[in-house]
Amino acid sequence: MTGFGAVSADAAFATDAAQLVAARALLGVFGAMLMPSTLALLRTLFLDRTQRRLALAIWATGFAAGAALGPVVGGVLLEHAWWGSVFLVNTPVMLVILALATTLPESRTPAPGGLDLLGLLLSLLTMVPFVLAVKTFAEDAPLALAELTLAVVTGTFFVARARARRQAGLEQLLDVELFAAPLFRMAALANATTMFAYTGLLFVLTQYLQLVVGLSPLRAGLLLVPGALVTIVAGVGAARLARYASFRTLVPAGLLFAAAGFGVLAVALDGPDMALGAAVLTTMLVGAGIGMSETLTNDAILASAPPARAGSASAVSETAYEVGAVLGTAVLGSVLAAAYAASLAVPTSIGPVYAQDARETIGGAVGLADRVGGEEGRILLDAATSAFQHATVVTAVVAAVVLVAMAALVVLGVRSRPQL
């Protein structure tokens, strides 16, 4: 929390893009430390399964509340203050939490080892090339294949090395043996998939609302609030429903709710205009699915591991969360960009350099249309919004298919109701 608050202040006063990107990277480092730590504490504080499940539901509502408040607070700050305030606002919050955190008990691994620096390097050499391969596939397939090959090789070596270190009684960066349990494996995959869907939705929908519909950042953020409220209700409700229904039933149901949300988005956009009510309904359905799934998958991940390995299990939950979030932006963002570029018809009078700028992002096309002006600018703007609308439909369909496939995988992968 100290690092997150300090780096937030550094990001707020960044003087160039390099400093801002470096600060954002450090925010990722410090932010990634918080979630597994808090999850491990929940495993220590709540030994009763029913209490812990409810605590996890409340914990998950913090995510939902943050997701709702972030765009709203950010929109207010961007409209009434300078851009750095969206980072600086984190610092006083971190100071308050830091003071309160002194009352927390410890959750400690009985025999912790040192930091596995080689394992850390291998994990980076696995994830970074993989994400780059996804992002560069449409532009440079041979390069993407080389990046993917590197990711597979280093990933295989990472897993083999982690198993060897475990057999030798040494600390591993990630306890891969936990994935041997089907419930743990399915819970981690479902966890990643829900975050894949949620971050992809935010990436697509916020652009559509602001650049196509023309809403301000604040108004676009306010449309996300109902979805976050539904996430909170669904998370707490899932904790209660788990007394009567199994993981194998509830988690696929949550994934299908989220898929239905993307289905609504695809249908609503398959026309000239999108009603804002459809956008709200989309966020509510996806929020309901995430609330149900996140609570139960985190509960299953923690319950599948013994108390002494709560930290390792929590780290897997955080890793699944972060991997899903990264891939949601990378994969669905790439689908969106490719579909947009393929369907955009740029007026022939616009030069090839400017046309390429317009095809890269809808933001570039909107900016170019403003500069060109007149009838030509209007034609370009209409073409860009139509292409982005089509690309959003394609992206929503892809996200829905992934969610349905994951729901089927959970049903097939968890054969019976687990007794944890």
Higher pLDDT, 207 or 105: 207
The mean pLDDT of the chain is 84
* 311-328 tens-digit pLDDT: 677 778 778 888 888 888
Q: How many CA atoms lie within 13 A of 192 on its CB side?
A: 17
Assess contact for 107 and 42: CB atoms under 8 A: no
The CATH number of whichever domain residue 75 belongs to comes to 1.20.1250.20
Domain with 143 in it: 114-170
pLDDT given for residue 113 in this prediction = 63
pLDDT given for residue 419 in this prediction = 44
Same domain, 23 and 164: no
Within-domain flag for 93:
yes
Same domain, 76 and 197: yes
- Nearest 10 degrees: Cα torsion 244, 248, 253, 255: 140
Same domain, 14 and 139: no
What distance, in Å, lies between the first and last C-alpha atoms of the chain?
Answer: 32
Cα distances from 1 to residues 202, 304, 319, 411, in angstroms, run 25, 28, 19, 38
pLDDT given for residue 310 in this prediction = 66
To which H or E segment does residue 218 belong?
A: helix 217-222
At residue 11 the predicted structure's pLDDT band, cuts being 50, 70 and 90, is very high
Within-domain flag for 36:
yes
Within-domain flag for 78:
yes
At residue 417 the predicted structure's pLDDT band, cuts being 50, 70 and 90, is low
Same domain, 161 and 175: no
Average pLDDT over residues 278-292: 90
pLDDT given for residue 169 in this prediction = 72
Q: How many domains does the chain have?
A: 2
Last residue of a domain, one of 135, 170, 205: 170
| Residue found by looking up tokens 């009838």 in the block | 375
Within-domain flag for 356:
no
Pick from 1-10, 48-57, 312-321: least confident:
312-321
Within-domain flag for 270:
yes
Within-domain flag for 370:
no
Same domain, 35 and 53: yes
Same domain, 226 and 262: yes
Position 232: which residue type? I
* 241-262 tens-digit pLDDT: 888 888 889 999 999 999 999 9
Query: In the structure encoding, which two tokens stand for residue 121, read together?
Result: 């390097």
Cα distances from 226 to residues 13, 197, 221, 287, 289, in angstroms, run 33, 17, 10, 9, 14
Count helices and strands (H / E) in the chain: 17, 0
Average pLDDT over residues 284-302: 88
Last residue of a domain, one of 170, 185, 201: 170
Same domain, 100 and 134: no
Burial class (CB within 10 angstroms; exposed 0-12, middle 13-18, buried 19+) of 410: buried
Average pLDDT over residues 182-193: 89
**21 φ, ψ to 5°?**
-65, -40
Same domain, 129 and 49: no
Average pLDDT over residues 65-93: 84
At residue 58 the predicted structure's pLDDT band, cuts being 50, 70 and 90, is confident
Q: What is the DSSP track for 311-325?
A: HHHHHHHHHHHHHHH
Assess contact for 5 and 99: CB atoms under 8 A: no
Residue 189: closest CA among 415, 409, 411: 409
Average pLDDT over residues 95-121: 78
Alpha carbon distance 329, 28 (integer Å): 15
pLDDT given for residue 37 in this prediction = 78
Helix-, strand-, coil-residue percentages of the chain, each rounded to 5: 80, 0, 20
Q: Is it the case that residue 420 has pLDDT exceeding 50?
A: no
Same domain, 43 and 140: no
Last residue of a domain, one of 170, 196, 212: 170
Q: Is it the case that residue 271 has pLDDT exceeding 70?
A: no
Region of residue 306 (phi > 0: left; psi between -120 and 50: alpha; otherwise: beta) = beta
pLDDT given for residue 273 in this prediction = 57
Same domain, 189 and 305: yes
Same domain, 199 and 231: yes
Region of residue 214 (phi > 0: left; psi between -120 and 50: alpha; otherwise: beta) = left
**Could you tell me the pTM of the whole model?**
0.81
At residue 108 the predicted structure's pLDDT band, cuts being 50, 70 and 90, is low
Within-domain flag for 33:
yes
Same domain, 36 and 92: yes
Assess contact for 178 and 306: CB atoms under 8 A: no
Within-domain flag for 191:
yes
